[in-house]
Structure 1
Amino acid sequence: MKLRPTVLALALAVACGTAMAKTLRVANQGDAMSMDPHSLNESLQLSFTANIYEPLVGRDKKLGLVPALATSWSQPSPTVWRFELRQGVKFHDGTPFTADDVAFTFQRAAADGSDMKSYVSQVKEVRKVSDHVVEIETQAPFPILPDVISQLYIMSKKWCEENKAERPVDRRKGVENTASFKANGTGPYRLKERQPNTRTVLVRNPDYWGQIEGNVDEVIFTPIGNDATRVAALLSGEIDVMEPVPLQDIGRLKASGNINVLQGPELRTIFLGMDQKRDELLFSNVKGKNPFKDRRVRQAFYQAIDIETIRTRVMRGAATPTALMVAPGIKGFAPELNKRYPYDPESAKKLLAEAGYPNGFEVAMNCPNDRYVNDGEICQAIAANLARIGVKINLQAETKVTYFPKILSRNTSFYMLGWTPSTYDSHNVLTSIMATPNDAGQGQFNLGWYSNPKVDELTLKVQSETDQAKRDEMIREAFRIHHEDVGHIPLHQQALAWAAKKNIELVQLPDNFMYFKWVTVK
């Protein structure tokens, strides 16, 4: 049987298309916990959903601001921003993207259960000017608004209403809805399959408005918690990319001959927080009072931690100890303030004795074991350090699936957290981590409720100050106060380590986001 020329051409085109289709198999130590982009303000979650959803203002390969769903923005007055929206964009279900979706998204992000409240806490009103123009009015002058909303992903009003997902998934209360398992964004990839903690499959969006520089048609994302299993999967060819690389395996992978290891500094700061609000800790043998309300106890904990041994042994040199809550590269970083309290167990014991705990005390510590680099091991080392000054740590290390709902509910006395300012500006850590919590989203991740009125005052001034020199001095002053208060215990900035087969080209960003539209499979 002979094929007619047109049929033959079609058959060849289909065959070539199939041959050219590229699948990228990615493994991580943990899973994206939900497909709802407003449910968890965590970098893996936001990185993954950034391939499905998009913000008004995006980031380029150097983390500079670029147009995304907004083509331009301007400031007609100090408290009003005007965004011209991209026309012709459709959500994955074919619904046109309009100003209604923007207004709905900001309202949704501010709702109960949202983990993105801090992104919109300064927004007074979102006004629809036309189908493709919106105005965002802020409570006060807010010159960094475009930076702040660069990780606030736009959802379809129509789709959310039809799927009863008008409110965000609430990870703190275990409340789920359709948006946790299904997705409908405007981004370069669509959600094809979602099996939580097993695998998630994305496919290329053929109607994407923008440019997809890479050639990946399908992404299969698999959480593999065990380090050895994850490394073995990469070496055997079962996966193409893995993140993070276990520190002890970096040399082995580099020597394998067919694996590239990508390393670089990360903007994330790992730190410890303490409950400073309750009159009695939830998880301690101290009754009737809260030791962490005493600055001397907080400093004792700080000075008991052997940060250099953690750097060299636990982190194998892949960490930079810090005294600040922000990393170099974040606007407002003040190198002259980056001086830790010295490691000094004897001084720590004296501080505890002065505070009324000459024999130490007992307290539970919450820690993830599949979120940050060697997080469980770091917490074990800290527990051993604190034992030397008489503090017994009841370590509760667990998967982030159960860890985050617990600590985000402030159901903790002593905990570990990592933070990358989404705006790449110090104001983000001031308002999210160091300012006193309120219902509008300020201090949403200040889980131990550290509070200093002067820091609150400076935070408000920083967000509206346009004079850079004055702004930087305010940031430095807030950091000085926080350090003197021992509001948190900063540990280090961990280093990034990804590994990929040599036929994979990808872009590693210092915020640890992985955009599949920039990946090429050769």
Structure 2
Amino acid sequence: MRIRSTGRRPALTALAAAAVLATASCGASGERPAAAAATLSIAVQGAPNSFDPALLVDGTQAYVWSAVYDTLLMVDNKGELRPNAAESWNYSDDGKALTLKLRQGMTFSGGAPVTSAAVKTTLERTMSKPGPNRFRLSAVETVETPDERTVVLRLKEPDGALPHSLATTIGVIGDPKTLEAERTALDPVGSGPYVLDGATVNGSKYVLKKRDDYWNAKAYPFETVEVRVIKDRTATVNALQSGTLNAASVEVTHVDRLEAAGFDTKFIDAEAVGTLSLADRNGEVLEPLGDERVRKAINMAFDRDKIVQQLLRGAGKPTRQLFNPKGDAYDPALEKEYPYDPAAAKRLMAEAGYADGFAVHMPSLFFTKPFEPTITQSLGEIGIKVTWDPTPPQNSVSAIASEKYGMFVMVEGFNSTPVEVKDYLAPDGPKNVFDSSDPELDELLDRVNAERDPAKAAGLYRRINAFTVENAWSAPIFYSGRHWVTDDGVEFLGDGSNTFPTVRAFGVSG
């Protein structure tokens, strides 16, 4: 039986991934200074909201906080879960106790030792404090510390996503003596490989200096990391041309010019998924979505190939699936579902009793605007009239979570498969806005949460994915790709298997 959270639904992290599509682009012309390989300089479009461990969010903000804080576990550039601050982890036979063994000799940047008590304090604080991360610890009942290096998480029920979650926001370790201090929001005492330098200007520029006493210092080749908040694309172009930045993601239209100017480029064909979420699957506020035939008709309304070519300029690929194509849940055979066929879609609409279509309101969000005309036209062809409600950027998350809108557009950066499944499909999951459930899906979720064999778990994740596609729980439209450009001395190491923003995705070349 699944334990349902009784607390407030956590804020959606979906909109942080809008920055994935909006990450600054660059061009190149004229002379540019030689790169300094000792420094990595990248840009993000939004400043970290807070360095308080209970308030951390995914998205490009993680370039900063994941350098300041260690996480208990990590996902490497190939998408594999690895030890980190915890040198090992294992489940009990019943899957209701997760034991982690910490490394010896770790210290916080202030000099205090990193102990199991620090892990316990950080986790319990996140569990009790309202914030975007509490949901990922919903299965944890108690945190025990048998000795200074051992942490045992006692669970209400098995949670297959928990180890992967401990490689993200909930896995950070804060200094218990400073967690409640005012400085933590802006200048925390962390356990990670870098510390914030005095040259940092909050909201504008974050300068990270490498800790020589960090336990794994050799894994971080850059002595300095500069993360600049640059919202304007032209300003980012100028920063790259001047040498202020030496790594950035770019639009496809700039790639030829950059390569001609001597920059190295690397294309990742899927870093985010663009989806028309059909969230109200019981038809609570939008009755037609309660009929599977309507949801299937919506899936058949989109010419995905045309959308990728025209709106993404080919920098991506069409999809019918929510999950990372390099992850365990992805199944290439599912891409044969829902061919573009407005005539067949209209027949399904008529069978469901909506031959004349219906009207729907959706929030117009800062990242949906480029797609709105195409979505309006596509849905209009099968009789669905869309009205876009203007929504201020600061209200984007609350609009989606409000349960006012039965369907809405999301652009989501990928996470690891277990975390994606938990976020999208678990009751009270932050992206399962109407708490949709189904007996078949519930059984699959229970089985995968209890499964300890990775190969068997992967098979269950594919079955879960097939359920969502075959029952049209959403209408995924495209995978958005990304061109990474790096200057001399810097190399982008990722291949799309892990899209979590971290400086570990960059290395020194040459």
TM-score (norm: length of structure 2): 0.81
- 1:66 deviates by 3.0
More displaced 10-residue stretch of structure 1: 498-507 or 411-420: 411-420
- 1:259 deviates by 1.7
- The structure-2 alpha-carbon separation of the partners of 1:355 and 1:487, relative to structure 1 and needing over 3 Å to count, comes to same
Give the 3-state SS of the residue equivalent to 1:304 in structure 2: coil
1:135 to 152, 155, 158: 152
2:81 to 61, 65, 69: 65
Distance 2:134 2:359 in 1: 34
In structure 1, the partner of 2:10 is: none
1:238 to 238, 241, 244: 244
Mapping of residues 313-352 of structure 1, within 5 Å: 313-352=310-349
- 1:457 deviates by 2.1
Distance 1:386 1:47 in 2: 38
Contact 1:277 1:449 in 2 (8 A): no
Q: Which runs of 5+ in 1 are unaligned?
A: 1-19, 164-177, 282-288, 438-442
In structure 1, the partner of 2:206 is: 200
Contact 1:295 1:485 in 2 (8 A): yes
- The structure-2 alpha-carbon separation of the partners of 1:381 and 1:225, relative to structure 1 and needing over 3 Å to count, comes to farther
Mapping of residues 69-84 of structure 1, within 5 Å: 69-75=85-91, 77-78=93-94, 79-84=96-101
Higher relative contact order (CA 8 A, sep 6+): 2
In structure 2, the partner of 1:120 is: 137
Give the 3-state SS of the residue equivalent to 2:42 in structure 1: strand
Distance 1:162 1:33 in 2: 16
Distance 1:479 1:73 in 2: 27
Contact 2:305 2:317 in 1 (8 A): no
2:178 to 148, 159, 163: 159
More displaced 10-residue stretch of structure 1: 448-457 or 125-134: 448-457
- 1:369 deviates by 4.1
- 1:452 deviates by 1.6
Give the 3-state SS of the residue equivalent to 2:206 in structure 1: strand
Residue 444 (structure 2) pairs with residue 458 (structure 1)? yes
- 1:290 deviates by 3.0
Distance 1:62 1:247 in 2: 24
Counterpart residue type for residue 216 of structure 2: G
- 1:303 deviates by 1.6
Give the 3-state SS of the residue equivalent to 1:382 in structure 2: helix
Contact 1:267 1:330 in 2 (8 A): no
Give the 3-state SS of the residue equivalent to 1:292 in structure 2: helix
Counterpart residue type for residue 87 of structure 2: T
In structure 2, the partner of 1:53 is: 69
Counterpart residue type for residue 374 of structure 2: A
Distance 1:65 1:469 in 2: 14
- 1:68 deviates by 1.7
Distance 1:378 1:28 in 2: 22
1:291 to 245, 263, 288: 288
In structure 1, the partner of 2:118 is: 101
- The structure-2 alpha-carbon separation of the partners of 1:45 and 1:495, relative to structure 1 and needing over 3 Å to count, comes to same
Contact 2:69 2:192 in 1 (8 A): yes
Q: Which runs of 5+ in 2 are unaligned?
A: 1-35
Contact 2:330 2:465 in 1 (8 A): no
In structure 2, the partner of 1:285 is: none
In structure 1, the partner of 2:479 is: 493
Deviations 1:73-124 (A, max 9, x none): 3446443333221233222233321111211222233335332234323323
More displaced 10-residue stretch of structure 1: 394-403 or 102-111: 394-403
In structure 1, the partner of 2:419 is: 428
Give the 3-state SS of the residue equivalent to 2:378 in structure 1: helix
Give the 3-state SS of the residue equivalent to 1:150 in structure 2: coil
- 1:213 deviates by 4.3
What do you get for the CA RMSD once the two structures are aligned?
3.2
Distance 1:383 1:404 in 2: 22
Work out the number of aligned pairs and report it.
Answer: 470
Distance 1:222 1:293 in 2: 45
Mapping of residues 337-376 of structure 1, within 5 Å: 337-366=334-363, 368-369=365-366, 376=369
- Flag the structure with larger Rg: 1
Counterpart residue type for residue 108 of structure 1: R
Mapping of residues 31-46 of structure 1, within 5 Å: 31-39=47-55, 41-46=57-62
Distance 1:398 1:27 in 2: 26
- 1:40 deviates by 5.2
Contact 2:380 2:386 in 1 (8 A): yes
- Sequence identity percentage: 27
Contact 1:507 1:514 in 2 (8 A): no
Contact 1:274 1:448 in 2 (8 A): no
In structure 2, the partner of 1:270 is: 274
TM-score (norm: length of structure 1): 0.79
Counterpart residue type for residue 191 of structure 1: L
Counterpart residue type for residue 96 of structure 1: P
Contact 2:205 2:228 in 1 (8 A): yes
In structure 2, the partner of 1:10 is: none
Distance 2:353 2:340 in 1: 21
Contact 2:298 2:345 in 1 (8 A): yes
- 1:28 deviates by 2.9
Contact 2:279 2:474 in 1 (8 A): no
- 1:183 deviates by 2.4
Give the 3-state SS of the residue equivalent to 1:432 in structure 2: helix
Counterpart residue type for residue 266 of structure 1: A
In structure 2, the partner of 1:4 is: none
